[in-house]
Amino acid sequence: MDEIKGIARVKFHPGKVEEWKRLSEEAMEIVRTRDSGTLQYEIFFNEDESEAMVFERYRDADAAIEHVSNISHLMEPLMSTASVTGEVLGTPNAKMKKLLGKGEPKLFTPWMALQDLSAASRRAAGLPPRPKSLKPGRKAGLKGQKGAK
């Protein structure tokens, strides 16, 4: 299973931000109650709320397709409130590739990654514990010095 991530960049048409917020609240309720594979769905605004970014994470391509299907009735009204561009990050299956086509959003496939796993995730994946020298928050070379943890 390959996780799929999405980033939508939104620039609101004049006077349309409140309508976009209302529609996004509907979308969020659908995500919470109907999506089975959405791992993360977050919306961020710039300071003057003229732009927003939506960050999405899905268990796999099928979960991303399910999400799009669940909110499809909101897409036209949402798109009428703003100009939207975006990126999809991950390895889509054939069905998702066909849905993406050649335009927006742009597809970026994995090249290199480092994922910091929690101790529980490392155990579940059958990985050894993280070496002490690599634990987050520790500063190399401070042992025994004032200010060392």
pLDDT of residue 135: 53
Which amino acid does the sequence have at 102?
K
pLDDT of residue 82: 98
pLDDT of residue 50: 98
pLDDT of residue 21: 98
Q: Is residue 125 classed as helix, strand or coil in its secondary structure? A: coil
How many whole angstroms separate alpha carbon 86 and alpha carbon 106?
A: 6
Q: Can you say how many angstroms the Cα of residue 104 is from the centroid of all Cα atoms in its chain?
A: 16
pLDDT averages per 10-residue partition of the chain, 149 residues? 92 98 98 97 98 97 97 97 96 92 88 76 72 56 49
Strand order in the sheet with 51-58: 38-45, 51-58, 4-12, 82-89, 106-108
pTM of model > 0.85: no
Give the domains, in start order, of the chain with CATH numbers: 4-113 (3.30.70.100), 117-149 (no CATH)
Cα 78 to Cα 46, 54, 82, 115: the distances in Å are 18, 13, 7, 33
Least Cα distance to 4 among 69, 57, 82 occurs for 57
